[in-house]
Amino acid sequence: MSWLSHLFRPKPALNSEELARLEAWRHLAHPAGSGLASSRFVVVDVETTGLNLARDRLIAIGAVAVNRGRIDLADSFEIILQQSAASGKDNILIHGIGGTAQTEGVPPVESLLRFLEFVGKDPLVAFHVTFDETMIKRALKQFLHFDFKHPWLDLAYVMPGFLPELANRHRALDDWTGHFHIRNYARHSALADALSTAQLFLAATQIARQKNIGHFKGLQDVEKAQRWISWAS
């Protein structure tokens, strides 16, 4: 029953400096506008110990910012969260982050603070948001003890919404990146996947422009509509 004792273990407190950084992030101003050609968005991808949303742990976060319709390569983020024990071999084979790298990663509190500081208050974008969002939310809850409520956009719904004729054949990230000839320099590395997803986001932005959608809200509407279609069909 080790998971029970884990559940009732007292939460480790943040030190004062960490608390100050968290407070600073909380008080950041929200971006004034959300124009696709004028704002900053953060495209994110995570690696975990497995696919179980309730139990598996967050191992790595990769993020790439899209500024005014372009990806600034230097405005990118990559971190490996320190694990008390390395994940299993099968799992390591997927993301390639070895046992030593896992146990020598950056302590979780520090990792997550850096992530928040990288994101700021800019909207997040991912492919299959539920997974990335849940894993990040849970980690923030566990280590920083707060509820991460943030605007997200799911390209897994936006793309089929924009290109319904491809929706049946294109379901996974690889299908969509393949359609736009986007290559991935290291599939299943969080940052490389974030870059591919960010390139897909640029393509989506381009289609949005043709459809006279100029704001993030417009993309969220496309996502919402597509969720209804998927649910209904």
Partner 1 sequence: MKPTQPNSLLLATLDHLRRFAPFDRMEREHLAWMAQRLSLAYYAKGEVILSPEMGVVSRFFVIKQGVVQGEQNVARAADADAWLELAEGECFPLGALLANRGVSSVYRAKRDTFCYELAAGDFHELARVSPPFQDFCTRRIASLLEQSKQVIQAQYSQSSSEQQSLSSPLSAIIRREPVTCAPDTPVRQVLETMHALGIGSMVVVEELPSPPAPPPAPARSVPAGFPPLRGDHGETGEGRTNSLSPLGGGVTPVGIFTLHDVLNRVALAGLDLDRPISSVMSQSLTTLPPQAFAYEAALEMAKHGFRHVLVTEGERLVGIISEKDLFTLQRVGLRQISAAIRNAADLDALKHAARDIRQLAHNMMAQGVAAEQLTQFISTLNDLLTARIIELACAASEGQCRVGFCWIALGSEGRFEQTLNTDQDNGIIFEVPAGMTADAVRADLLAVAKRINAALDACGFPLCKGDVMASNPQWCLSLEEWKETFSDWIDQGDPEALLQASIFFDFRALYGKAMLAESLHAWLGQRAAANPRFLHQMAANALRNRPPLGLVRDFVTGDGHTLDLKLNGITPFVDAARILSLAAGFGHTHSVQRLRLAAPRLNIPKAEVEGWIEAFLFIQLLRLRHQHDECLENREMDNRIDPDSLNDLDRRILKEAFRQARKLQARLALDYQL
Q: Which stretch binds partner 1 (CB under 8 A): 66-74, 128-136, 149-157, 219-227?
A: 66-74
Q: Binding residue for partner 1 (CB under 8 A) from 36, 61, 64, 81?
A: 64
Q: Work out the number of other CB atoms within 10 angstroms of the CB of residue 45.
A: 26
In which residue are the tokens 């696709």 written?
Answer: 36
Contacts of 17 (CB under 8 A, 6+ apart): none
Q: Which stretch binds partner 1 (CB under 8 A): 28-36, 42-50, 51-59, 63-71?
A: 63-71
Q: Binding residue for partner 1 (CB under 8 A) from 72, 88, 107, 228?
A: 72
CB 115 within 8 A of CB 77: yes
Q: Which of the residues 205 through 224 are near partner 1 (CB under 8 A)? A: 205-207
* CA–CA distance, 34 with 40 (Å, rounded to integer): 8
Q: Is 65 helix (H, G, I), strand (E, B) or coil?
A: strand
Query: Under the criterion CB under 8 A, does residue 100 sit at the interface with partner 1?
Result: no
The tokens describing 227, both together, are 């969720």
Query: Under the criterion CB under 8 A, does residue 78 sit at the interface with partner 1?
Result: yes
First vs last Cα of the chain: how many Å apart?
Answer: 42
Q: Binding residue for partner 1 (CB under 8 A) from 55, 141, 183, 224?
A: 183
Query: Under the criterion CB under 8 A, does residue 180 sit at the interface with partner 1?
Result: yes
* CA–CA distance, 176 with 167 (Å, rounded to integer): 10
Q: Which stretch binds partner 1 (CB under 8 A): 132-140, 142-150, 155-163, 198-206?
A: 198-206
Query: Under the criterion CB under 8 A, does residue 70 sit at the interface with partner 1?
Result: yes
Site string for partner 1, 102-131 (x = CB under 8 A): ------------------------------
Complex with partner 1: residue 1 or 73, whichever CB lies closer: 73
Complex with partner 1: residue 25 or 180, whichever CB lies closer: 180
* CA–CA distance, 205 with 117 (Å, rounded to integer): 25
Strand ranges of the sheet holding 124-126, from the earlier edge strand across to the other edge: 58-67, 40-48, 124-126, 152-154
Contacts of 166 (CB under 8 A, 6+ apart): 159, 160, 179
Query: Under the criterion CB under 8 A, does residue 151 sit at the interface with partner 1?
Result: no
Interface with partner 1 (CB under 8 A): 62, 64, 67, 69-74, 76-78, 180-183, 185-186, 189, 191-192, 195, 198-199, 202-203, 205-207
